[in-house]
Structure 1
Amino acid sequence: MAELTDILFMQAFAGLILFSVLVLMALGLAIIFGQMGVINMAHGEFMILGAYTTYLTSHIFETYLPALFDGYFFVAMALAFLVCFALGVLVEWGMIRFLFKRPLDTLLATWGLSLILQQLYRTVFGAREVGVTLPEWMMGSYAMTETIEVPINGIFVMVLTLFIASGVYFLMFRSLWGKQVRAVVQNRPMAGAVGIDTGKVDRYTFGIGCGIAGIAGSAFTMIGSTGPTSGQLYIVDTFLVVVFGGAQSLIGTIASAFTISQSQSTLEFFLSGSMAKVITLLIVVGILMLRPQGLFALKIRQ
């Protein structure tokens, strides 16, 4: 029983790491899909752009600034956010703003964008996967008991997720910009009538969602290798998290990510990875059949 308890604890911690990456991915997608109604199939490629930005920053610091290497990861996260934010603003201005209220066209256009970005990554970085060199202080593990050890980089990812989730909550519900976003979501014509620049709100909303995906890409480099198609491995799970939690609910997104990641991680110990995913999907689909609005739905006046 003691050994089984230790194993289940380690699986639960592995589930928390997966939960952290899913939350970072889903927060950006929840802002874009939940607040704007845009189906962004290129969201995984924005995550990989953040991962490649982290890889390049790691290489630059390791080669030219070795004395500052221990702190490069914080610089990499900031750069990943800025690069993905800038590309997201450009994509919204050049493509998304022409496709509002046309979900099928948006889906096809962003799917094409994802293929373009994948080929661009393959051309620039090659088809092989790459990995980053972590600072010394992120290596190793912390011994909680004689038989249980948790990786330090996993703890860092969870703290980062808590920080980003708190920042998104403050931005959406405690700031003037968040009020403008929610006003545009509830009634776009009226928001424009009272002086809110709805086009600017949409552009920055899309950009911030993509920027958060870039930070998720930085976190992703700690748990996996980065390749041109790595983002496609997470896009389905991310959409599932957002829909299952409630498209416009940040609390629902976090609760959904925790439920799915823990279920999948625990089932993987007893079953194969593919069967664990199948059972998790069946459970989620069953719940959505009973509650199609998701775990948490916004209460609005009709």
Structure 2
Amino acid sequence: MDTLLTQLPVGLAIGAVLLLAALGLNLTFGQMGVINMAHGEFIMVGAYTAYVLNTWLSPTPALILALPAAFAVTGALGWLLELGLIRHFYGRPLDTLLLTFGIGMILQQAARDIFGAPNVDVPTPDWLTGGITLPGDIRLHHSRLFILALALIAVAALTHHLHHTRQGRQTRAVLHNRDLAAITGINTRRVDATTFVIGSGLAGIAGVALTLTGPTGPTLGTNYIVDAFLVVVIGGLGHLRGTVLAAFALGILNATVEAWSDASLAKLIVFTAIVALLQARPQGLLTTKTRALA
């Protein structure tokens, strides 16, 4: 119990990062069936957006401006990718996997050409350094608390969008039954494009958050893309609440197991637990009821 309480803040921080990385995939993979392997590179682009702003501004305004800027930059990249390529491969998930994998490799090489192969550091604002020590020697770092708050705000904003805006209700209609939504007059192509933009923009915000946890490099996103897909699959395709539960459960499990073993063994144990869970519930923790015909 003491180990669990000590590792709980670490697990919540890991879960918050995974949640930010998985929110965009929850939309693009859950609604559109697009396996976007370039999502990790969009995270990397968001991190480099924060790095560029830090070269022009001091850390505090750079961080604040980096959040909307990264959303705009990666959202624009997502729009261009969907408009130029993805929309021609709907209903062909394996083709989108290969296509976006190639796009990701191109983005990685572009980052090396522009910023160089070595990792770069993004300064952390002074108000995010240090932390709070609770009874029981539980340490809460300000940067981790900020990432956790950022993840919860992103979930709240996405929930409000899906349930209280016209565009969000159209997105849910397309998720439940694409053909019926099209018959009722919803422009499903426009909904898909908007969804892809939002999902890509959320990846950029995740990249900004990751600059607070370590260095930024061309392969930054590849360290999180697999775990982000696992979060979406475990939580249930297209289910936002399931994604939240899966992200924090995976983060806490990973941090707790690592406290008792090394990183490699912890990964093995976590993946074994995931396989066992998916054997018992292949549809994930939660499922979205739809009106689509089987």
TM-score, normalisation: structure 1: 0.93
2:225 to 219, 235, 240: 235
Q: Do residues 154 (structure 1) and 150 (structure 2) align? A: no
1:191 Cα offset (Å):
2.1
Q: Secondary structure at the match of 2:57?
A: helix
What are structure 1's unaligned runs of at least 5 residues?
A: 63-68
For 2:205, the equivalent position in structure 1 comes to 215
For 2:193, the equivalent position in structure 1 comes to 203
**Separation of aligned partners in 2, 1:183 and 1:300:** 9
Q: Do residues 59 (structure 1) and 55 (structure 2) align? A: yes
Q: Secondary structure at the match of 1:149?
A: strand
**Structure 1 residues 141-150 or 129-138, which shifts more?**
141-150
**Alpha-carbon spacing, 1:180–1:112, altered in 2? closer, same or farther (3 Å):** same
Look up the equivalent residue of 1:286 and give its one-letter code. A
Moved over 4 A (4+): none
CA contact 1:51–1:217 (8 Å) conserved in 2 = yes
For 1:224, the equivalent position in structure 2 comes to 214
**Alpha-carbon spacing, 1:140–1:85, altered in 2? closer, same or farther (3 Å):** same
Number of residue pairs aligned between Structure 1 and Structure 2:
292
Q: Secondary structure at the match of 2:250?
A: helix
For 2:132, the equivalent position in structure 1 comes to 142
Q: Do residues 125 (structure 1) and 115 (structure 2) align? A: yes
1:190 Cα offset (Å):
2.9
* Offset from partner CA, 1:254-297 (integer Å, 9 cap, x none): 11111111111000011111111111111111111111100001
Task: Give % identity.
Answer: 45
Q: What's the RMSD between the two structures over aligned residues?
A: 1.4
**Separation of aligned partners in 2, 1:46 and 1:223:** 17
1:146 Cα offset (Å):
7.6
2:164 to 174, 177, 183: 174
CA contact 1:50–1:213 (8 Å) conserved in 2 = yes
* Offset from partner CA, 1:82-117 (integer Å, 9 cap, x none): 000011001000000000001111000000001000
1:73 Cα offset (Å):
1.0
Q: Do residues 297 (structure 1) and 287 (structure 2) align? A: yes
1:89 to 79, 84, 88: 79
Q: Which structure 2 residues correspond to residues 10-25 of structure 1 after superposition, within 5 A?
A: 10-25=6-21
TM-score, normalisation: structure 2: 0.96
**Separation of aligned partners in 2, 1:92 and 1:299:** 27
For 1:246, the equivalent position in structure 2 comes to 236
**Separation of aligned partners in 2, 1:194 and 1:8:** 51
Look up the equivalent residue of 1:85 and give its one-letter code. G
**Separation of aligned partners in 2, 1:184 and 1:55:** 37
**Separation of aligned partners in 2, 1:206 and 1:149:** 37
**Separation of aligned partners in 2, 1:265 and 1:189:** 43
CA contact 2:67–2:208 (8 Å) conserved in 1 = yes
Q: Secondary structure at the match of 2:62?
A: helix
1:8 Cα offset (Å):
3.7
**Alpha-carbon spacing, 1:8–1:291, altered in 2? closer, same or farther (3 Å):** closer
CA contact 2:176–2:289 (8 Å) conserved in 1 = no
* Offset from partner CA, 1:133-166 (integer Å, 9 cap, x none): 1111111112323833321111111111111111
**Separation of aligned partners in 1, 2:103 and 2:289:** 34
Q: Secondary structure at the match of 1:110?
A: helix
**Separation of aligned partners in 1, 2:273 and 2:71:** 34
For 2:39, the equivalent position in structure 1 comes to 43
**Separation of aligned partners in 2, 1:20 and 1:258:** 7
